[in-house]
Amino acid sequence: MVSRVIPVDVFDLVIFGGTGDLARRKVLPGLYRRFLAGQMPEDSRIIGAARGELTDAEWRAQVAGAIAEFVPKEKQDKTAIAGFLERLTYVPIDARGTTGWERLKELMRENVVRAFYFSVAPGLFGDIAQRLSDHGIADAWSRIVVEKPFGRDLTSARALNEVLARHFTEAQIYRIDHYLGKETVQNLMAVRFANILFEPLWKAEYIDHVQITVAETVGVDGRGAYYDKSGAMRDMVQNHLMQLLCLIAMEPPWHFDPDAVRDEKLKVIRALKPVLAQDIVRGQYAAGGGEPGYAEHAENSASRTESYVALKVAISNWRWQGVPFYLRTGKRLRARASEIAVTFKQPPHAIFDDAKGWHENVLVIRLQPDEGMHLWVMIKEPGPGGMRLMQVPLDMSFADALAEVSEDVPDAYERLIMDVIRGNQTLFMRGDEVEAAWAWTDPIIEGWESRDDRPQLYDPGSSGPEDALMLMHRDGRRWREIR
Ligand code: NAD
């Protein structure tokens, strides 16, 4: 199987914050890979716009450095890199000032897709939108890409939506959640809605519970001061975990169309029940293994910010009545692993005596590191010795099954940027979705603040705080091992 690369229309992509960390690590290396794959038309251009006074040559040298550092060696093709760098132009610009804007306007071409990637602090989004509009740079072909965090609560998210709406229509605004750009996440929709197999079972009658885990081994060192104002709930749950939950729980959309999909996701968020205090566990990693703990990384010895959170969530609709969704995410855990596990109920009547080997069917959707899906089923243990049962995985590992394709499978950022150029918003969050997610998250955070809640310490390299284990044990269930 060979992956098909369908070139997009000619575009001018302006990256505000083109010298920043995100642009260097993700956006520019991703664009290079799309160029290498032949997806970026010859005439397309990338314009870096940031505060530093760089020449084109200096920015190109920086981008060459980023490609050398963040693109795998086997993809570093000298001719292609030179061709890619030729497409780059740099404009020194001040998001809050007057410099650079007229130059940027002169560079813009008529009848070419214009995309503006806001890879800057969210505090600058409004300033940039305003200036693009004041200088007549934004036109009907324009679209903007905004990065997370989209607000820190409902009020700030609303304010941000309002600022952007003054200058752009909702159809022009692409709010990135890079989890939605992952191959497996989209495959989840394909598996659910392009097969008859799972959907009839996809409900409370047959599903016992769902676990969503996003575990990291890294701590917050280096960005502790920023993280300390955010915490796992704002940084991960309100966006990434919530999006995964929506894709698992949503009703089939009438069509694979941006608004049809997003309408169904929104209904899930609106149906989330408020979470009770006893159904939430917050944690903070302690010092260990020669590394400082969270508080030291955050440079705040009195910090009450959570680097880990686990929640039991309920969706009040017909499909999910009584099915708990357990979410957990944290830093400095035992392994880097993101997965969704859908655990089915046991058959209604056990005809085999081998109770020891009795297990549920589990559909595991792995997002990282080894993307793929595994369906755990019961079979007879091979060989003589009677009818003993064992659980084995039906492996749908994409890395193996789609080996040739996956060579060129774009990473999340690449795919999402190409979707922006194509004008496809399916994998981007709509304004009302983001606001609904904050409306659900806010009372949880406010509850902690009003109680002056203190996160429980957990050992680095562990699976998280003890109380998180209890959250499941209490219901007669257990978390899957983080690996
Ligand atoms: P950064 O601090 O590394 O880069 C900021 C960029 O903005 C620089 O290019 C700087 O020159 C430019 N800039 C700052 N002030 C400016 C001004 N007044 N006018 C014009 N340009 C200005 O930040 P980053 O890590 O690249 O993050 C950028 C955005 O992406 C933030 O919103 C961040 O939350 C988000 N984000 C970053 C990451 C990441 O991995 N770095 C991941 C997800 C989201």
**Banded pLDDT at 389 (limits 50, 70, 90):** confident
Q: What is the pLDDT of residue 411?
A: 84
**Cβ of 66 below 6 Å from ligand 1:** no
Q: What is the mean pLDDT of residues 174-196?
A: 92
In this structure, what are the phi and psi dihedrals at residue 191, rounded to the nearest 5 degrees? -65, -40
18 is in an annotated binding site: yes
Q: Is 359 a catalytic residue?
A: no
Q: What is the pLDDT of residue 403?
A: 53
257-268: pLDDT as tens digits: 999 999 999 999
Q: What is the mean pLDDT of residues 460-483?
A: 96
273 is in an annotated binding site: no
**Banded pLDDT at 252 (limits 50, 70, 90):** very high
**Cβ of 19 below 6 Å from ligand 1:** yes
The dihedral formed by the CA atoms of 33, 239, 20 and 66, expressed in degrees to the nearest 10:
-30
Residue nearest to atom 1 of ligand 1 (CA): 20
- Active-site residue (options: 209, 240, 297, 374): 240
- Residue 74: DSSP 8-state: G
Q: What is the pLDDT of residue 34?
A: 94
Give the nearest ligand 1 atom to 121 CA: 32
220-240: pLDDT as tens digits: 988 899 999 999 999 999 999
**Banded pLDDT at 341 (limits 50, 70, 90):** very high
What is the CA(17)–ligand 1 centre distance, in A?
Answer: 5
Q: What is the pLDDT of residue 145?
A: 98
**Cβ of 17 below 6 Å from ligand 1:** yes
Asked if the model's pLDDT at residue 305 lies above 80, the reply is yes
Q: Which residues of 69-206 form beta strands (DSSP E)?
A: 88-92, 113-118, 142-146, 173-175
426-445: pLDDT as tens digits: 999 999 999 999 999 999 99
Asked if the model's pLDDT at residue 241 lies above 70, the reply is yes
Give the nearest ligand 1 atom to 96 CA: 18
**Banded pLDDT at 11 (limits 50, 70, 90):** very high
Burial class (CB in 10 A: 0-12, 13-18, 19+), 288: middle
**Banded pLDDT at 398 (limits 50, 70, 90):** low
Q: Within 13 Å and on the Cβ side, how many CA atoms surround 5?
A: 17
What is the CA(147)–ligand 1 centre distance, in A?
Answer: 9
Radius of gyration of the chain (CA): 24
Q: What is the pLDDT of residue 408?
A: 59
**Cβ of 92 below 6 Å from ligand 1:** no
Q: What is the pLDDT of residue 424?
A: 95
The residues near 446 (Cβ < 8 Å, ≥ 6 apart) are: none
Q: What is the pLDDT of residue 355?
A: 61
The whole-model pTM stands at 0.94
Within a 10 A sphere around the Cβ of 297, how many other Cβ atoms? 24
Pair type for strands 45-50 and 88-92? parallel
**Cβ of 218 below 6 Å from ligand 1:** no
Q: Where are the alpha helices (DSSP H) in 171-323?
A: 183-193, 224-228, 232, 242-249, 258-270, 294-297
The residue written with tokens 């969050």 in the block is: 429
